[in-house]
Structure 1
Amino acid sequence: MNDIDQAKHELRDKVWRRLIDGGGAPDDSYGKIPGFHGTEGTAEMLAGQDFWRRATTVKANPDWAQLAVRVRALKDGKRVYMAVPRMASPQPFHLLDPENLGLPPEEAAEKKGAAQVARRIGVESMEPVDVVVCGSVAVNRSGARIGKGAGYSDLEVALLIEAGLVTERTVIVAPVHPLQVIEEDIPETEHDFSVDYIVTPGEVIPCPGRRRPRGIVWGDLTADKIAAIPVLAQRERRGRA
């Protein structure tokens, strides 16, 4: 573990403990993207933003913490691209179409429901993304964020950037509990992206200094990581085209 990884690990540990001890999330949230109390409030705050009203496509992570936002997106008539857990498919996204769900939004937006009714698609079949909703363990007011350490959010966004689907017009948001908003600096590497807005149940915080990678940073990936993610393994075989 290098110095940056160690610093991120220490921040995660601090925030997980503060969130649980402060009553902001259930006791079993340690080690996860926290399913914090007030997720419905973040969905309501997000739904009141102009950029959300204009959006027709939303990409979201599959964690429970962002379920309320995925449900709200479907109820608001937006197409939702929901990442397949651990990107464990050659087509690493579920497409949830509000006009053709087959289940109520509350069920379709869950991992189990999406696996039943959503079509799996690759980036070549996707439309440009207006809003990216990313799960986070901690975020600061400059927009720097850290997840739980697996790196899937970074890879998903990098894939979409390379495909021209996440652009300068795309807004990236982090719905979190107030206890997840920290004052400390968060160390960043080449593959990290920042968020444009932090959304809590009580406020929306604009973040300056947008930071995004140009695409996948292959040098930061181990051979095991590439082999475990089919879409990366395919690209590796094709010469990272």
Structure 2
Amino acid sequence: MDRNVPWRTGPDKQRIREQVWAALERHDAVEPGVAGHIPAFIGAEAAAARLTELPAWRAASTVKANPDRAQLPMRAMALTAGKTVYMAVPHLATVKPFYRLDPTALPMPPAEAAAHQAAATFAPTVSPSDMPPIDLVVCGSVAVNPYGVRVGKGAGYSDIELALLAEEGLIGPHTTIVATVHALQLVDDDLQKPNTTSAWTSSSPQTRSSPARRLPALPDCSGTTSQETRSR
């Protein structure tokens, strides 16, 4: 699969991104300069803690995670709970595009090991063909609607990661896709466009919401996904 395909960003999705970024800065929920990034929002640890209340979290032994700072607390909690974390290499910049974080073989505390800068110093990189089925996918997102449809920052990395895993049969109806976001990132817009993925549930410091039905987590490997939550 070509990881360098140009990913189109529709004007409606970009408008929503810009509105969310502006609202987060206006309410001091992020540091200035968030535009163009997955928001590292205040309350990320509380959102991660709410995620750990889900049955899907408790049942998961393998977690695929994005490398963004907003999801750092979640990755640390997963490692502390004994879950194996497969974290995407930023920008999918290596031939083997995922770090494997084995909770039984960490050279430092989980809170440190979960940072992508630290993982790069000790964690082996692996290809999807070397990975087991994934129980839980945690997506970084800019916006999520009540039906679990997410929008990232527009680079398309989450979609590519899911497509790579789907090609190997590692995600499917058994996989739960979630997002941790700030309440200001929850929007009412219809986000179901090409290049979006659906998160089954979203978790914020203030609330946790689930769509009326669980959407299948099977990306279309041609470059769009049938469902989807600061994309990288």
Q: Same fold (TM over 0.5)?
A: yes
Q: Output the CA distance in 1 between the equivalents of 2:133 and 2:15.
A: 36
Asked if the contact 1:137/1:180 (under 8 Å) is kept, the reply is yes
Query: Which of the numbers 112, 117, 125 marks the counterpart of 2:122?
Result: 117
User: Which blocks of at least 5 consecutive residues in structure 1 are unaligned?
Assistant: 221-241
Query: Which of the numbers 173, 177, 188 marks the counterpart of 2:178?
Result: 173
Shift, 1:214, TM fit: 4.3
Shift, 1:8, TM fit: 0.9
For 1:93, the aligned partner's letter is F
Asked if the contact 2:159/2:219 (under 8 Å) is kept, the reply is no
Q: Output the CA distance in 2 between the equivalents of 1:219 and 1:203.
A: 29
Match of 1:196? 200
The list of structure 1 runs, each at least 4 consecutive aligned residues, that deviate by more than 4 angstroms after superposition, is 1-4, 211-214
Query: Which secondary structure does the structure 2 equivalent of 1:164 belong to?
Result: coil
User: Which blocks of at least 5 consecutive residues in structure 2 are unaligned?
Assistant: 1-5, 226-232
Shift, 1:28, TM fit: 2.1
Q: Output the CA distance in 1 between the equivalents of 2:54 and 2:99.
A: 25
Asked if the contact 1:196/1:208 (under 8 Å) is kept, the reply is no
Q: Structure 1 87/14 Cα, relative in aligned 2: closer, same or farther at 3 Å? A: same
Query: Which of the numbers 15, 18, 22 marks the counterpart of 1:17?
Result: 22
Asked if the contact 1:159/1:215 (under 8 Å) is kept, the reply is no
Match of 2:74? 69
Shift, 1:203, TM fit: 2.3
Q: Structure 1 24/215 Cα, relative in aligned 2: closer, same or farther at 3 Å? A: same
Q: Output the CA distance in 2 between the equivalents of 1:109 and 1:2.
A: 28
Count of matched residue positions in the alignment of Structure 1 and Structure 2: 219
Q: Structure 1 85/44 Cα, relative in aligned 2: closer, same or farther at 3 Å? A: same
Q: Output the CA distance in 2 between the equivalents of 1:112 and 1:160.
A: 23
Match of 1:133? 138
Q: Structure 1 193/15 Cα, relative in aligned 2: closer, same or farther at 3 Å? A: same
Match of 1:89? 94
TM norm structure 2:
0.89
Query: Which secondary structure does the structure 2 equivalent of 1:133 belong to?
Result: strand
Q: Output the CA distance in 1 between the equivalents of 2:79 and 2:165.
A: 21
Query: Which of the numbers 158, 167, 180 marks the counterpart of 1:162?
Result: 167
Query: Which of the numbers 215, 220, 231 marks the counterpart of 2:220?
Result: 215
1:100-152 CA deviation, whole Å, 9 max, x = no partner?
Answer: 01111111110111001111000010011111000000010011110000000
Match of 2:228? none
Highest Rg: 1 or 2? 1
Q: Output the CA distance in 1 between the equivalents of 2:203 and 2:44.
A: 10
TM norm structure 1:
0.86
Structure with greater helix share of residues: 1
Q: Structure 1 20/94 Cα, relative in aligned 2: closer, same or farther at 3 Å? A: same
Whether 1:35 aligns to 2:40 is: yes
